Amino acid sequence: KAGVTQTPRYLIKTRGQQVTLSCSPISGHRSVSWYQQTPGQGLQFLFEYFSETQRNKGNFPGRFSGRQFSNSRSEMNVSTLELGDSALYLCASSSGAGGQETQYFGPGTRLLVL
């Protein structure tokens, strides 16, 4: 099976712009989670979608939003970008939503906000 893919791999934006990141999960996986990884804060949970419904949400401002499509592909949107949004954004997919399933991570999208 193909792994989790994320596009684009690299992005450069300026403050105030918005950005959309895409994640394609492993075939058959219905859960997609998003994480922000920074040197200072480490890996922080953004949100999880399962069968097109947001099941969990981390402690991030409303500028961060997401959605999941019927084919389980997911997008994450960040509006009004700030310098502090520069990070590696990782998505992970799993077959279930119970917390015990293995999370399969994509390579990430590295976002730089200038």
Partner 1 sequence: AQSVTQLDSQVPVFEEAPVELRCNYSSSVSVYLFWYVQYPNQGLQLLLKYLSGSTLVKGINGFEAEFNKSQTSFHLRKPSVHISDTAEYFCAVSDPRTGNQFYFGTGTSLTVIP
Q: Which residues bind partner 1 (CB under 8 A)?
A: 4, 31, 33, 35, 42-45, 48, 50, 55-56, 58, 90, 92, 94, 97-108
Q: What does the alpha-carbon distance between residue 112 and residue 88 come to, in Å, rounded to a whole number?
A: 9
How many helices (H) and strands (E) the chain has is answered by 0, 11
Beta carbon of residue 92, minimum distance to partner 1 (angstroms, whole number): 8
Q: With respect to partner 1, which residue has the nearer C-beta, 40 or 62?
A: 40
Q: With respect to partner 1, which residue has the nearer C-beta, 80 or 101?
A: 101
At residue 32, φ and ψ (nearest 5 deg) are -130, 130
Residues 8, 112 contacting (CB under 8 angstroms): no
Q: With respect to partner 1, which residue has the nearer C-beta, 48 or 85?
A: 48
